[in-house]
Chains A and B, each alone.
Chain A
Amino acid sequence: QSALTQPASVSGSPGQSITISCTGTSSDVGSYNLVSWYQQHPGKAPKLMIYEVSKRPSGVSNRFSGSKSGNTASLTISGLQAEDEADYYCCSYAGSSTFEGWVFGGGTKLTVL
């Protein structure tokens, strides 16, 4: 099972919006509404930001939103803030005749200019 594809880096200025893409296949992102997104600051454990494509856990800012079209999911962060600078990972459930489990993207480093 191959990893999902994310851009290595994105950047934006405070107050702007950015979008991080996550491309998979018809065996993962395209077949299941089980895409989640995680934020990770250096030396810290990951934090769930979006689950089931577009749902936000309690306590996560509504500046974070998720969507999906076909085999590609997206995370949008609006009103960028300095504390949003972190690594972001997408994840999807994957199921086929030979594999069941979860696959992560390679991660995207967000820089707030």
Chain B
Amino acid sequence: EVQLVESGGGLVQPGGSLRLSCAASGFTFSSYEMNWVRQAPGKGLEWVSYISSSGSTIYYADSVKGRFTISRDNAKNSLYLQMNSLRAEDTAVYYCARVLEGSSGCFGYWGQGTLVTVSS
């Protein structure tokens, strides 16, 4: 069974940093592209970042470019999101999501999410 478990969320002051982790199990992590998607309280979904299976290709949403860094450790079956210069508008539940096998460009499996709150 595919499992994705996010951690690392919490309360941080504006301008601060936080590192999110996503522990993957139940599949060969190194074979799959991964993404981070977020959802502000009461709002819709927003794609944040993508990383290819090898880590060689990375994309970011304009709203986080230059502040967030996605990475992965295939030996540890883990995905990360380093978030710097955090703003109030970054407050959201952050989900890691895996592509569906045999498909392109969709989010077939999701974690339960971790809440990041940016506030003084």
The smallest C-beta distance from A109 to any residue of chain B, in angstroms, reads: 11
B13-21, B43-51, B72-80, B83-91: which one contacts chain A? B43-51
Contact A89 B45 (CB under 8 A): yes
Please indicate the chain A residues that have their CB under 8 angstroms from the CB of B104 in the complex: 34, 52, 93
Please indicate the chain A residues that have their CB under 8 angstroms from the CB of B113 in the complex: 45
Residue B56 is within 8 A (CB to CB) of chain A in the complex: no
Nearest B residue (CB) for A99? B62
Contact B105 A93 (CB under 8 A): yes
Residue A12 is within 8 A (CB to CB) of chain B in the complex: no
Contact with B along A72-106 (1 / 0, CB 8 A): 00000000000000010101110000011111111
Please indicate the chain A residues that have their CB under 8 angstroms from the CB of B59 in the complex: 100-101
Whole-angstrom distance between the alpha carbons of A32 and B62 in the complex? 20
Contact B106 A48 (CB under 8 A): yes
The residues in B between 17 and 68 inclusive whose CB is less than 8 angstroms from any CB of A are 35, 37, 44-47, 50, 59-62
Contact B62 A45 (CB under 8 A): no
Whole-angstrom distance between the alpha carbons of A107 and B27 in the complex? 30
Contact B50 A102 (CB under 8 A): yes
Residue A51 is within 8 A (CB to CB) of chain B in the complex: yes
Residue A15 is within 8 A (CB to CB) of chain B in the complex: no
Taking Cβ atoms with an 8 Å cutoff, the residues of A that contact B are 1, 3, 32, 34, 36, 38, 40, 45-48, 51-52, 55, 57, 87, 89, 91-93, 99-107
Taking Cβ atoms with an 8 Å cutoff, the residues of B that contact A are 35, 37, 44-47, 50, 59-62, 95, 100, 103-108, 110-113
